[in-house]
Amino acid sequence: MAEHVTSGDVHSIRARHEFRGVRTAEHYFTVPLVHAPEVDSDTPETITVFAREYSSTEHTAEEAGRLPWLLFLQGGPGGRGNRVTSLSGWMKAAAKDFRILMLDQRGTGLSTPIERQSLELQGDANAQADYLTHFRADSIVADAEFIRGVLDSGPWTVLGQSFGGFCALTYLSFAPEGLREVLITGGLAPLEGSAERVYRATFRRVAARNAEYFSWYPEDRELVTRIARHLEKHAEFLASGERLTPERFQMVGSFLGGNTRVDSLHYLLEDAFIDTPSGERLSEAFLEQVRALVSRAANPLYAVLHESIYGQGEATNWAAWRVLEEYPEFKPGAEEPLLTGEMVYPWYFEQDPSLAPLREVAELLAARKDWKPLYDTERLAANTIPVAAAVYKDDIYVDHDLSLETAAAVRGLQPWVTSDFHHDGIGEDGEGIFGRLFAMVRPAR
């Protein structure tokens, strides 16, 4: 079923659908590029922000329309909202009590998406870099508050996964009046300190996860080194045409951040080599799987803005690349090179064709010193909004120790520390994790 509806210049619902127990509505909002009273213009620049509403058909349409909102903030930066075809996991649990608003954060999905082609509309590299400063957590939160007002919602519930949790902390800092309660999974950002501090912690976590993985699959230790040495000596090309280098191959370590995905790394590696008339080469099946892991074509914002999520008043200046010097075991030429995590390096913008046009923009952002604060530590210390956060003890992306430091700095924040899940825990047992966190913020429910 599809119903097309238009409702004004600021907000429109363009379609409604119903399928497999799900009822959806597609919301488009026109929001200011810059949410600031000092913008002096009769016609301020605007962008489109898209959000898809999900509710369960276990409620009638009328009942669903009376349910309170739960806003989901996705991981990233640069990750669009989930597209689902049925309610399962945390969404199944949440839909019992809420209408879910699945936000495409500005610059992602259908929210004035940013790619190298669209950025060219802004002008030269300096203009593009200036434009991108309006796509961090503070602007995402301002969008959410604008949308809440348009929807005429009271304070709503927010669930933030990973970077979405960072955004939730920004929300608590600058617009707590818009929040009834906050749930965070794998996303307690450090409130203070440099980006280098973050990467020193996460490099250690990734090294430990490598050791754990190779203890399960000892044959893969030799195989990873063998692939890296092969790539040093032989030119292997992805189907998209670019060369697979040893350092790009190391990016398959993204599997290490998962619960069940970690074992999928073994299945990827076992596809690596094939015999050919010219000798042993990397198989096309392997190269195609790797291409999907190492390309940022689908989410360039992740690479361009990644370090800026830790930028507060000082330049990040390729922090991960500089900290790498302290961890030589991650260098591709190491005797037994380790697989890497989510760190972003300047060579991404040389070796990935989708990022190469953004190299100058990325350099400008790395050197930028005037990043606005993303958190108000005094306000967080006086927080009155119920907050519960899942902190994963062995998370390689959001460090456990830094997370607990943040938890202690936010008044009333209840951490649930667990070693049962890794960074993608919400995808592993979303229903259970949501239920536990929700009970922590509403114990009398």
The pLDDT of residue 445 is: 60
Question: HSE on the CB side for 308, CA within 13 Å?
Answer: 29
Check if 162 is active-site: yes
Question: Any bridge partners for residue 101, and if so which?
Answer: 53, 71
List of residues 6+ apart from 133 with CB closer than 8 A: 308, 365, 368, 371
Q: What is the pTM of this model?
A: 0.95
- 257 closest CA partner among 230, 229, 293: 293
Distance CA 252, CA 291 (A): 10
Match 């958190």 to its residue by tokens.
375
With 0-12 CB in 10 A as exposed, 13-18 as middle and 19+ as buried, what is 404?
middle
CB 156 within 8 A of CB 141: no
- Catalytic residue from among 9, 42, 152, 370: 370
Per-residue pLDDT of the chain (445 residues; tens, 9 = 90+): 444 444 568 999 999 999 999 999 999 999 999 998 755 566 789 999 999 999 999 999 999 999 999 999 999 999 999 999 999 999 999 999 999 999 999 999 999 999 999 999 999 999 999 999 999 999 999 999 999 999 999 999 999 999 999 999 999 999 999 999 999 999 999 999 999 999 999 999 999 999 999 999 999 999 999 999 999 999 999 998 999 999 999 999 999 998 878 999 999 999 999 999 999 999 999 999 999 999 999 999 999 999 999 998 889 999 999 999 999 999 999 999 999 988 999 999 999 999 999 999 999 999 999 999 999 999 999 999 999 999 999 999 999 999 999 999 999 999 999 999 999 999 999 999 999 999 999 987 6
- Catalytic residue from among 56, 162, 295, 354: 162
* Structure tokens belonging to residue 271: 């596809």
CB atoms within 10 A of CB 202: 21
Question: Any bridge partners for residue 184, and if so which?
Answer: 160, 389
Long-range residue pairs from 125-131, CB within 8 A, at least 24 positions apart, any chain = 125/360, 125/361, 125/364, 126/364, 128/358, 128/361, 129/361, 129/364, 129/365, 129/368, 131/33
CB atoms within 10 A of CB 316: 26
Reading phi first (left if > 0) and then psi (alpha if -120 to 50, else beta), residue 123 is in left
- In order of their start, the domains of the chain are 11-192+375-441 (3.40.50.1820), 195-367 (no CATH)
The pLDDT of residue 41 is: 60
Check if 422 is active-site: no
